[in-house]
A and B are shown apart, each in its own frame.
Chain A
Amino acid sequence: DAGVTQSPTHLIKTRGQHVTLRCSPISGHKSVSWYQQVLGQGPQFIFQYYEKEERGRGNFPDRFSARQFPNYSSELNVNALLLGDSALYLCASTLGPEIGGYTFGSGTRLTVV
């Protein structure tokens, strides 16, 4: 079975630009979450979506937005990029934490210059 897949794996953007990151969950998983991991720190929760509805939002500015599609895949959008947005963005999917925990993708490494 395919795991959680994220695309692209790496990208470089300029300050002020917009970026879209994509995530496909494990087949059957209806919940998708996004995390930001800055170098040397633990991941920070950005969003959770379940059945296409936002179920949770972390302490991130409105420049960050996300959505979930009918096939349960998800996009994370970041507008007006800042240097501080440079990070590894991780997507996780789950059937339920009590069942299988959260399965993470390999992430998208975003560098803002």
Chain B
Amino acid sequence: AQSVTQLGSHVSVSEGALVLLRCNYSSSVPPYLFWYVQYPNQGLQLLLKYTTGATLVKGINGFEAEFKKSETSFHLTKPSAHMSDAAEYFCAVSDRGGAQKLVFGQGTRLTINP
């Protein structure tokens, strides 16, 4: 069965600093990988996804993530944090076939300090 582990339930960085949110997955075959952001009392917004091809994926709002098969990781980064980045971030995986359900990690709450 697939699983996702997000290291760090809370991450705090200063405005302008590097953001690094960690995600490791467990899957028998390379899955599809996603990062979503959730602002308070809202649904989930897709930041970026990896399905095939280039392992460095660029998303919205300056975020990017790199798929590393050997490390079963898909860490999310942003070079310079902005106050508006404060939110909950979820890493998720899905199979390449079948029901294609999303399996989410527990989430990481990102706080930006002025």
A45 touches B101 (CB 8 A): yes
Tell me the dominant secondary structure on chain A's binding face.
strand
* Distance A43 CA – B94 CA, assembled complex (angstroms): 13
- Tell me which of B12-20, B43-51, B61-69, B75-83 binds A: B43-51
Contacts of B105 in A (CB 8 A): 42
- For A109, list chain B residues within 8 Å (CB): 41
Number of interface residues of A (CB under 8 A): 26
Contacts of A33 in B (CB 8 A): 101-102
Please report which residues of chain B, range 21-38, place their CB below 8 angstroms from some CB of chain A when the two chains form the complex: 32, 34, 36
Contacting pair A90 B43 (CB below 8 A): yes
Which partner residue on chain B sits nearest A43 by CB separation?
B104
**A98 sits at the interface (CB 8 A):** yes
Q: How far is the CB of A21 from chain B (nearest CB, A)?
A: 13
Of B44, B92, B100, B107, which is within 8 A of A90 by CB?
Answer: B44
